[in-house]
Structure 1
């Protein structure tokens, strides 16, 4: 009994040490995340890139086979784009998918089956983030994010599109819609961070920790689980393994977005679908939903029993509702 109590005390002290260390490294990461000078995203080593690419290819193998793969030059670097099209969808308004942080194209694996039957789909890895896009110049603001997205779509001959973004991709999608409203047929924002408000401090902490190089795998998995809003982070899952490899081996260089002002929200008159998680939202939950309702033409929904991993957790509902939303926006 005495030995058991002593063991528990040792474990408790060890736990406190872990928390203390994470607090320190989290503060360092947060400082670099928000105040570091603009740079160019890159892999920390050739071996690290090889390890990431192997995990990336494994995750991509779970998706429907793309019709085409493009490497599109932009003013900030070359963007890897995957296209799914068929004779039936070739002339449709394309759906453009902007991924969340460290997620790349593979994050859409659960949603593509619902999107492909009616639309040409274009999905890309974000510049400055883990993936197969290659950044060549610093991104100094969210406006720059919108510029390279426009370069990609112009390079592919896309005149108008249904733009969908998750997490940081939601902030980039909103910025693109703000700068190029004439090119956006509809806007879909899934747990869009830094769009209607700032994420909770605890989530910023865990997001910062998850990107630290040299972090023990178990600690990184804990941080990623906290960000994703899941109890356990299954590092054997293809998608989870890819995110873990990217967090470990890629040094991202992304500008921190600023929430849209009230005037900017009211001026965005594009048909918009907003989905916010009920639990552990990085967006701000009901408070963010209230701000989102200032949009001129928006359907704002809080999804029950979901977290920041909403696109995967609510795939059946999204795969049903979004094609219907897109059809409606094309009739406006």
Structure 2
């Protein structure tokens, strides 16, 4: 039996709720945006709600290596929280790696990955503007493409000339938007299960997510989340520090309702930087094999469909990505 098969029951219980809740709430946000399309500013609904989220956030952050620095970078859209782990002596001149999280996940989602990379080169993990986390929003985003602006302004505010940009899920879509608009800043682009940029979400995802908007029993909502994530209802109900954090963010934060778009062939082909795409083979929310076929036809690559993984790919394949991605970044440092 493979190591991943041995780890899979534990990983499914600990990680699948992250993917299920994050993508379910992405679809809920889209439905809310249809009802109330005016641009808005993300905010906490109450001080008590923020306190509950902050406790859960801190609990997850406590499992990560201690950051070297913590930045709050001013942009025209608000302040961006950035955690920095500085490279060991001898690696300071290599382009740093910037990590953009999935929706409701924030910088804490990268814990399993950062443990593999810390010290090898400078790492910077951001909380997104307009989403739950320690970033704060002051100005509305008028479209999803505005996501590229706050990322660019944060990178400029940190005096980063070129970076290796990595995004998971919603963060993969944000990273794609930034690379499209600001290619000179991006040494390489790594997309881990990026939602919607290669293919739209399956119709069944919208169907099951509709249960989260309706006044139905919690058991029905749990079934909907289970169907979205390809897990059992029991796994949805399993509570972990990460799932608690995401749940508190979903309950207490009024997020900006902006949904990624699928890029055209011409937009993909205009990207001059190396683009790496990693997809799941089970309950992929980025398009799975169909997305991989399109990416290969466009000449993107390497493109990998990881066996025995789901939308929680960065955590489920943390050991393998821990070795592969530093080699990929080093190959494209120049």
Aligned to 2:309: 306
Give yes or no for the alignment of 1:290 onto 2:288. Answer: no
Identify which of structures 1 and 2 has the higher relative contact order when contacts are C-alpha pairs closer than 8 Å and 6+ apart. 2
State the aligned residue count.
306
**3-state SS, counterpart of residue 199 of structure 2:** coil
Aligned to 2:128: 126
Aligned to 1:43: 44
Q: Distance in 2 between matches of 1:234 and 1:299?
A: 36
Deviations 1:123-155 (A, max 9, x none): 011011111110111112222101100110100
Q: Distance in 1 between matches of 2:216 and 2:125?
A: 30
Larger radius of gyration: 1
TM-score (norm 2): 0.84
Change beyond 3 A, Cα 1:30–1:78: closer
1:221–1:244 contact (8 Å) kept in structure 2 = no
Q: Distance in 2 between matches of 1:131 and 1:27?
A: 19
Change beyond 3 A, Cα 1:120–1:226: farther
Aligned to 2:138: 136
1:42–1:251 contact (8 Å) kept in structure 2 = yes
Aligned to 2:96: 94
Aligned to 1:13: none
How far does residue 80 in structure 1 lie from its aligned partner after superposition? 0.7
Q: Distance in 2 between matches of 1:178 and 1:26?
A: 22
Q: Distance in 1 between matches of 2:96 and 2:320?
A: 20
| Structure 2: runs of 5 or more not aligned | 1-24
**3-state SS, counterpart of residue 333 of structure 2:** helix
TM-score (norm 1): 0.85
Give yes or no for the alignment of 1:55 onto 2:24. Answer: no
Change beyond 3 A, Cα 1:277–1:266: same
| Structure 1: runs of 5 or more not aligned | 1-24
Q: Distance in 2 between matches of 1:155 and 1:294?
A: 37
Q: Distance in 1 between matches of 2:320 and 2:286?
A: 20
Deviations 1:155-210 (A, max 9, x none): 00100000000011001101111111111000000000111010112224455656
